[in-house]
Each structure stands twice: as C-alpha cells, then as structure tokens.
Structure 1
C-alpha cells in the first residue's frame, strides 16, 4: 500500500470529502486507502458518517474523546500505507489531481519524509478572527516553502516509519500547539521536509467568541508545556512565549498586566467585532499567557 489517507473526525459530515477522494482514487486505480477515526462525535454526526462503512477501509468510532494528538497517533495502528496523508475533517478537495500531486512528488523525491500541502480559506468565513489569522500568519505563497514554522496538521504527508518514530506529543490533550511541537520535533531531528502548494479548502466556521475561548485553552496548553523543561526546546521560538519570558526577565510583568487591564475590554470588543485586528489578538494572547504564568507561580508558592 502506497498511501493511507487518515482523517480524524469530530462533529463533521465527511461524506463529501470521502467521495471526492474516492473519485480520484478509482479514476486512476491508485494504491490508496481511506481510514476514518471518529473521536466520540455527537450521535447525529455518527449517524451521518456511519453510511461510509462500505466506502472506506476502516471506520472506527471511539467511545471517549482522546484529543487531537492521541487520535492522530492511533492511525499507525490501522494504516497499511508506506506514507500517511493526514487531512482535517472540515476540508474540501480543491483540485481534481490532489492525490496525484502528492504521489508525483513522492515518486520524484523518494527521500522526502514530510510534505505539507497548504490550505485555503472558504470565502464565506474569510473575515472571522480564526480565518483572518490563518490568512495573515499560516498560509504560504508560491509553489514551495522550506519554512517549518508554517506546518499545520490540516493537510500533510509523512512516511509512516518516521511518524512512528516521532509521534505527536500526547501530553497535549487540549487544543493548541500540537502541530508546532510536532514540527519542531521533526525539524530538530533533521527530517527532510518540503511544503508544496497542493491545498485543500478549509471550512472553519468557528465564531470569534468560540475562538477566543479556544485561545484561552491554547495558552493553558502552552503553559503546561513550559512547565516541563524537556519541552522548552520546542516552544522557545513561539512568539507569545518568547515575549512572556522577556517580560519576566525585564521584571516588567506587573507593568504589562496593569496596561493590559486598562485596554482589555477595548481589545476584546475589537476581537469580537466583524473586523478584528490580528495585532490586538497578539496582545490578547500575551495577556492571557502572562496572567496564567503568574497565577501558576502563585499557586505553587513561588
């Protein structure tokens, strides 16, 4: 088996995605399988996706949600492919030659161990805070990129033996930074990487309010990572973490939090508006993280 398509599913109808992938697989008689693992979705989505049992090689329903890192690692158990293609469930195929593009690159460069395929934002969601952030910070331009920091789990191919050697960090149960830590692990181990512009369309309808709540969870995840000295090598280049550490070194935490408190309501009002400012979002994240760091030190008696 050349390629296993691995799709973690949570509360999303993946029928269109699966049928589009199957259409290309069958049209070109590809040595490719599709595997779905549902991370304890609501019953309504389980019912919808159950119809795919005869359309894919494996459809597994988990009884308990295990999180974004652990569920991805679980695909090693069920996949047969030499390469694993991970796709988020809330994407659509943008190009009828999507799989062919990946397989052609694999054939051309068999020593490649990781490929990141990029993504586009569905037009109707392009003005939300979540997707404005993606457009400004997470999507590369051009045909190729060698920037590891742009790696996202939404659409990537990795050799199975490399993935088994360097899995996702399962300490990260909650939302946030699992893709960054994973990419840094691969980068530090000199994995041969290439980003190619072979995008999917991302249909992320997360509201600004929900995204701010997710951001608070992400800052908690980042704090948890920082409390383990072995993880600091992976997170030291995260801008919000570097800024928080710098404030501490300069003994400016109290001053920063005082200023943040003055502007916090204004910042939140902007981020919840129809025209959120990404620089305000940077300030918002820093405020959350610095507060959590101070609270954590107080709770531990330091």
Structure 2
C-alpha cells in the first residue's frame, strides 16, 4: 500500500495525475494519490476535475508554505506507511513506474530513489541553462548514482513515513533543500536502494531565474556549512572551496573581470556548465 504525495505550486499537474491513475488501475496494491496545492494562483480545471475522482485527495494552503513544509503536510495526510514523493512538473518514463516501486518494497528497503531524466530535445534559448544543468548533473546512470548513494532528490523518492519525518525535521524552505536530507542520510548510515525508474523533469525555469536560484541555494548552503548543520564535503563546490579556501580571495580578484561575460554565456544560447561551476565558485561564501 502506497501513498503518492505531490506538492504543487502553479503547475499543470493533470498529465501526471492521469498517468498515475492509469498505472495504479493495473495494480493489485492500494495506491492513494494526494495533491497539496501550495497557494497557487489557480489549478487547471482538468486537474480539479480529476482530483474529485475516487482515490484522489486534494488540500490547499491559503498562504505559500514552501516545498519542505508542504511535504510534511502531505505526510500528515497519508494513510499508508510507504510514501512516494513526486514533483508536480514530472512524468514517469516507464509504463510500469508504480509497479517497480511496489515491487521494490519486497526487498525491505527504507528508502528507494528512482532517478530523473531530461529530454534530448533542445528547448528554447531562454530555458537552456536549466536543461543543460539537468542533463549534465542531475540525470545520472544507475551506476553513477551508486557511487554516492546518499545523494537523492525528493522529486522522485519512495521512503518510509517515519524515516521521512526524521530526515525532513526542521528543514527550512530553500531551493536545494534536498542536500540536507542527503547529508542526514549519510550521517545516519541509511542504505539507499537506487533503481532505474526515472521521471521526466518537464518544468524548466528561464535561465536568469534559475541562475539566481542556484546562487541563493549556494548562499544558504554556505551558511549551513558554516554553522555546522551541513557537512563541508557533501558537494563538489563545497569540497573545492573547503580545500582551497585560502586561495579564494586571489581567485575572486582574478575572475572578477570575467564574471559579466560568464553571466552572459549562462543566460545565452549555449551555456557552459564548466563556466557555471567557475561562476558559482566565485560567489560561494562571498559576502555571506
């Protein structure tokens, strides 16, 4: 028995709901689907209609709470012990997506991560950075994910209810909050079962907005690292900055003349992920 939990904010969640509804109709296992609307301007009429069908539940926050808080609210409404968190702007790649998760429960894991995929089709210019970053950094093979198994994304994650409440406790609402959950998984020595069961990530932000969100997440990440909440070696940018912290003032002086050109590249037609790495390193820990 499985509770599928979907936080949404201004997303067209209808395609995801229809696909999940079709897949669960082919299962013998009971599956409930719960959507929590985090103060969206509006949901599509199609989404509202399908949410009135049996097996769906819908809740709404009148004031924006953020994804972390919304996930806790969803957990409180789930009636089953196994939770499957999905982002609203995703769509299962496999036609037996739910079946694979249900089958994996038989191996008695505590946490199962399915992975994420991005289309090969190049999007419009204004969305290139998000798409390129997703394909280069987030879309990983099963073998690659098992190298650092503690790193997970809650946009496609099945987990036991009590374990999730423990891992998500006292996490603020900021972009990149999955890092704190991943860090706690590693610190607690929790084994993660990675399977080849990805979702398509469909929601692409404009490049300038996504770049701002990355820099804000880095600012919060550095603050959490500085106060001991987050391990300093969880991600590559942290590892490099921590190891060569004494060089950072010199690096910033040398890189400063190039930063505006780097930004133009990142919001342009052919963004370089290597340029993004250097641009983020320039800002990491700066004026914190």
Q: TM-score, normalised by structure 1?
A: 0.86
1:276 equivalenced with 2:274 (yes/no):
no
Matched, 1:122 2:115: no
Q: Which residue is equivalent to 2:94?
A: 95
Deviation at 1:22, TM superposition (A): 0.8
Asked if 1:223 corresponds to 2:222, the answer is yes
In structure 2, the CA distance between the partners of 1:277 and 1:168, relative to structure 1 (3 Å rule), is: farther
Q: Secondary structure at the match of 1:6?
A: strand
In structure 1, distance between residues paired with 2:257 and 2:279:
12
Match of 1:239 in 2: 236
List alignment gaps of at least 5 residues for structure 2.
none
C-alpha displacement of 1:47: 5.4
SS in structure 2 at match of 1:37 = strand
Normalising by structure 2, we get a TM-score of 0.90
| Kept after mapping to 1: 8 A contact 2:221/2:230 | no
Instruction: Tell me, in whole angstroms, the C-alpha distance in 1 between the residues paired with 2:237 and 2:142.
Output: 27
Work out whether 1:140 is the aligned partner of 2:140. Answer: yes
Provide the residue aligned with 2:258 in structure 1: 263
Q: Distance in 1 between matches of 2:29 and 2:46?
A: 27
**What is the CA–CA distance in structure 1 between the aligned matches of 2:65 and 2:155, rounded to whole Å?**
18
Residue of 48, 51, 57 corresponding to 1:50: 48
Over 4 Å off, 4+ runs? 142-145
Of residues 84-93 and 25-34 in structure 1, the stretch that sits farther from structure 2 once superposed is 25-34
| Aligned CA distance change for structure 1 residues 143 and 237 (closer, same or farther; 3 Å) | closer
Distance in 2, matches of 1:207 and 1:186, equals: 31
Structure 2 CA distance, aligned partners of 1:72 and 1:237? 23
- Mapped partners of 1:113, 1:144: distance in 2: 20
Give the alignment's Cα RMSD to 1 decimal.
2.1
Instruction: Give the Å deviation of 1:102.
Output: 0.9
Deviating more after overlay: 3-12 vs 205-214? 205-214
> Unpaired segments of 5 or more residues in structure 1?
297-302
Structure 1 residue 161: Cα displacement:
2.2
Identify which of 262, 268, 281 aligns with 1:286: 281
SS of residue in 2 equivalent to 1:267: helix
Residues 1:36 and 1:180: Cα distance change in structure 2 (over 3 Å): same
Q: In structure 2, what is the Cα distance between the partners aligned to 1:255 and 1:220?
A: 20
1:158 matched to 2:159 = yes
Of 135-144 and 261-270, deviating more is 135-144
Worse-matched range after superposition: 26-35 or 237-246? 237-246
Q: Is residue 69–residue 169 contact of structure 1 (8 Å, CA) maintained in 2?
A: no
My pick for the range that moved more, 160-169 or 97-106, is 160-169
